């Protein structure tokens, strides 16, 4: 039995057990406090007589309450993820959810009034130094001010969404997860779910990948009429929403939520598109390594070198701590605390949910990290990734509960950076074949995050504009846009066969969170660019980086990065990130020549 089996988290900083009476006591107390809060502040926040004292005490009360309220739900969801098989874990989540909604309804007025308050009043009050801590929270809450409707209108939209947009999203999820993808592997007929069939696209055997790709296309096409209808409906629904809320273009609502302007996003995407030839260069080499005449869509994720090395948990832990230590003792000290104080759940166990995450929890406690560690190089990287998040949450605690988590585009900053540090040290210790495997995996992951998401963003832009200009779209029209949009990133290095043309149909982000995808390109490329600064500047970069993490979500991405001298509107900054990726491809090419010789 691997020693990892013992690495379980200790959640007693939150509650002692699922039967802890403290859970309901906390909720009772929060309900009382929420009622008092409403009695005290309702009608005062959007009043022209609002003073700095009132706003300060209201936000501070609100923050303290929100923080307490987060604890029961955080505990319930952590314990549920660690073992989903126990019905009492699911029941606790449901119970807490219902009680939490009751409390949240009492508090709803606060953010609405904050939005409604007159700019002259709020702006003058925010000048007050005592409000410095809450300035960004207040400003960010007010970003949607110009796009909100009257209260009765908002209520109608909210209620009707359950039978409108949200219902179509649920229909999408249930339809896609209900599809049985049928294929034959090794003479055996199988019926797979969507994640299972997609996992097979990484199978080392070409026949299996080919069969999986065909099964995916078959399953989707058979449901093509339904899925196309859902897409058309939701895209139309969004255009109605955007018109009512006075958004001038389809991307605007997302950009507002991300606190980015259209120009910055366009600069980023243009840098990704300009770098498509790099993707093509890598895939031409991959074609050579695999020895195929033509690289097809089902070969995109084919493993080319297998990473065989095993890293038991203790070794993984040491590797992460050492690479963090080389960067900064602050990083290794904080990360060590996660191991020593049992803030990590790494043990494989029946009923444990898949995937990995870091929960920031609250600022008076500390983050928890969740993963299933199976001794692979990949798991060492995941550990570094989640500890990167953990570090970010830990260091940003001093900003307070309302300002410690980052906006989406910078949320993956510390995780991807931590992962890069560990990647470099893993690669430096590996033998040639292991190195090739590590580089191939890393490069493909970067392309999938930077270039592919940019291509998907361009597709989505085209999709929303076409629907607005031409009305309902056919599956064929959408497929053509998808096919040419994604093919562009590969050039002639890889051929997306006809089968690939309907693969837009299962992408959940298009349906649930329009234009979400560019945040992935932003986050990853940002880290590459920061990494190149680190290489150039060495030691001098370290305190600025730690400062970035400590700032948390207390300002917009643009302000945050300006503090370390980065102008995210400058194309040269993004090209710096691309150069790091290019160097990885150069390195892979060199290693492969060496391997072949």
Report the interface residues with Zn ion, using CB under 5 A.
Answer: 415
User: How long is the chain?
Assistant: 597
Structure tokens at 559: 């302000």
At residue 493's C-alpha, the angle toward residues 489 and 497, to 5°, is 80
Q: Which residue has the tokens 């299996």?
A: 208
CB of 367 vs Zn ion, minimal distance in Å:
12
Taking CB positions, which residue lies at the least distance from Zn ion? 415
- For Zn ion, the closer of residues 176 and 410 by Cβ is 410
CB of 230 vs Zn ion, minimal distance in Å:
28
- For Zn ion, the closer of residues 141 and 415 by Cβ is 415
CB of 412 vs Zn ion, minimal distance in Å:
5
Residues 6+ apart with CB under 8 A from 65: 30, 33, 34, 37, 107
By C-alpha distance, which of 151, 277, 279, 172 is closest to 227? 172
Contact 343, 367 (CB under 8 A): yes
Contact 514, 238 (CB under 8 A): yes
- For Zn ion, the closer of residues 329 and 355 by Cβ is 355
Calpha distance 212→301 (Å, rounded): 12
- For Zn ion, the closer of residues 209 and 385 by Cβ is 385
Structure tokens at 297: 């869509």
Calpha distance 469→167 (Å, rounded): 25
CB of 415 vs Zn ion, minimal distance in Å:
4
By C-alpha distance, which of 215, 224, 214 is closest to 175? 224
- For Zn ion, the closer of residues 247 and 545 by Cβ is 545
Contact 68, 78 (CB under 8 A): no
- For Zn ion, the closer of residues 125 and 358 by Cβ is 358
Structure tokens at 226: 């339904």
- For Zn ion, the closer of residues 281 and 353 by Cβ is 353
- For Zn ion, the closer of residues 217 and 415 by Cβ is 415
CB of 385 vs Zn ion, minimal distance in Å:
6
CB of 411 vs Zn ion, minimal distance in Å:
7
CB of 521 vs Zn ion, minimal distance in Å:
15
Structure tokens at 192: 């797979």
Calpha distance 354→379 (Å, rounded): 13
CB of 557 vs Zn ion, minimal distance in Å:
16
By C-alpha distance, which of 64, 62, 72, 70 is closest to 25? 72
- For Zn ion, the closer of residues 110 and 417 by Cβ is 417
Calpha distance 173→194 (Å, rounded): 11
Structure tokens at 515: 């234009």
183 phi and psi, to 5 degrees? Answer: -155, 165
Check residue 204 and report its DSSP letter: S
- For Zn ion, the closer of residues 233 and 415 by Cβ is 415
At residue 212's C-alpha, the angle toward residues 209 and 217, to 5°, is 130
Q: Which residue has the tokens 């006591």?
A: 25
CB of 388 vs Zn ion, minimal distance in Å:
8
Q: Report CA torsion sign: 536, 566, 404, 100.
A: negative
CB of 508 vs Zn ion, minimal distance in Å:
17
């Amino acid at each position: 039995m691997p020693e990892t089996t013992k690495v379980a988290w200790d959640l007693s900083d939150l509650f002692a057990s699922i039967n802890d009476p403290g859970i309901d006591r906390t909720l009772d107390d929060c309900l009382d406090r929420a009622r008092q809060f409403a009695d005290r502040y309702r009608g005062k926040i959007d009043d022209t007589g609002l003073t700095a004292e009132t706003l300060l005490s209201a936000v501070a009360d609100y923050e303290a309450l929100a923080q307490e309220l987060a604890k029961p739900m955080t505990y319930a969801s952590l314990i549920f993820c660690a073992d989903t098989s126990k019905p009492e874990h699911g029941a606790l989540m449901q119970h807490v959810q219902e009680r939490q909604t009751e409390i949240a309804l009492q508090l709803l007025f606060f953010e609405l009034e904050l939005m409604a308050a007159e700019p002259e009043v709020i702006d003058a009050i925010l000048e007050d130094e005592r409000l410095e801590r809450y300035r960004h929270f207040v400003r960010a809450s007010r970003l949607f001010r110009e796009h909100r409707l009257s209260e009765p209108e908002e209520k109608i939209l909210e209620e009707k969404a359950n039978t409108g947009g949200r219902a179509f999203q649920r229909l999408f999820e249930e339809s896609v997860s209900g599809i049985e993808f049928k294929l034959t592997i090794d003479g055996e007929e199988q019926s797979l779910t969507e994640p299972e069939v997609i996992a097979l696209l990484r199978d080392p055997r070409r026949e299996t990948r080919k069969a999986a790709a065909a099964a995916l296309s078959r399953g989707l096409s058979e449901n093509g009429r339904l899925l196309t209808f859902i897409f058309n409906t939701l895209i139309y629904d969004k255009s109605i929403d955007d018109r009512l809320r006075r958004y001038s273009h389809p991307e605007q609502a997302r950009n507002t939520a991300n606190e980015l302007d259209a120009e910055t996003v366009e600069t980023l995407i243009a840098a990704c598109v300009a770098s498509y030839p790099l993707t093509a260069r890598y895939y031409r080499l991959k074609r050579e390594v695999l020895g195929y005449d033509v690289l097809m869509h089902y070969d995109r994720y084919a493993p080319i070198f297998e990473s065989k090395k095993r890293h038991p948990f203790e070794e993984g832990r040491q590797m992460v701590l050492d690479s963090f230590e080389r960067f900064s003792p602050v990083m290794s000290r904080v990360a060590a605390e996660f191991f020593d104080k049992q803030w990590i759940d790494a043990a494989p166990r029946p009923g444990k949910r898949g995937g990995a995450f870091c929960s920031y929890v609250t600022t008076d406690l500390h983050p928890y990290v969740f993963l299933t560690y199976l001794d692979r190089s990949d798991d060492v990287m995941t550990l570094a990734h989640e500890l990167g998040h953990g570090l970010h949450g830990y260091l940003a605690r001093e900003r307070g509960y309302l300002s410690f988590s980052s906006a989406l585009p910078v949320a993956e900053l510390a995780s991807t950076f931590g992962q890069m540090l560990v990647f470099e040290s893993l690669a430096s210790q590996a033998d040639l074949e292991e190195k090739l495997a590590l580089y191939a995996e890393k490069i493909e992951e970067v392309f999938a995050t930077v270039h592919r998401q940019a291509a998907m963003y361009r597709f989505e832009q085209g999709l929303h504009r076409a629907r607005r200009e031409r009305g309902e779209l056919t599956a064929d029209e959408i497929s053509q846009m998808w096919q040419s949009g994604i093919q562009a990133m590969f050039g002639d290095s890889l051929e997306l066969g006809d089968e690939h043309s309907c693969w837009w149909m299962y992408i959940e982000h298009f349906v649930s969170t329009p234009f979400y995808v560019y945040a992935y390109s932003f986050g990853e490329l940002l880290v590459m660019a920061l990494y190149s600064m680190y290489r150039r500047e060495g030691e001098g970069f370290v305190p600025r980086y730690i400062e970035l993490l400590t700032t948390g979500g207390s300002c917009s991405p643009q302000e945050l990065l300006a503090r370390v001298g980065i102008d995210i509107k400058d194309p040269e900054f993004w090209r710096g990130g691309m150069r790091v990726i290019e160097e990885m491809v150069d390195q892979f090419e060199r290693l492969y020549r060496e391997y072949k010789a």
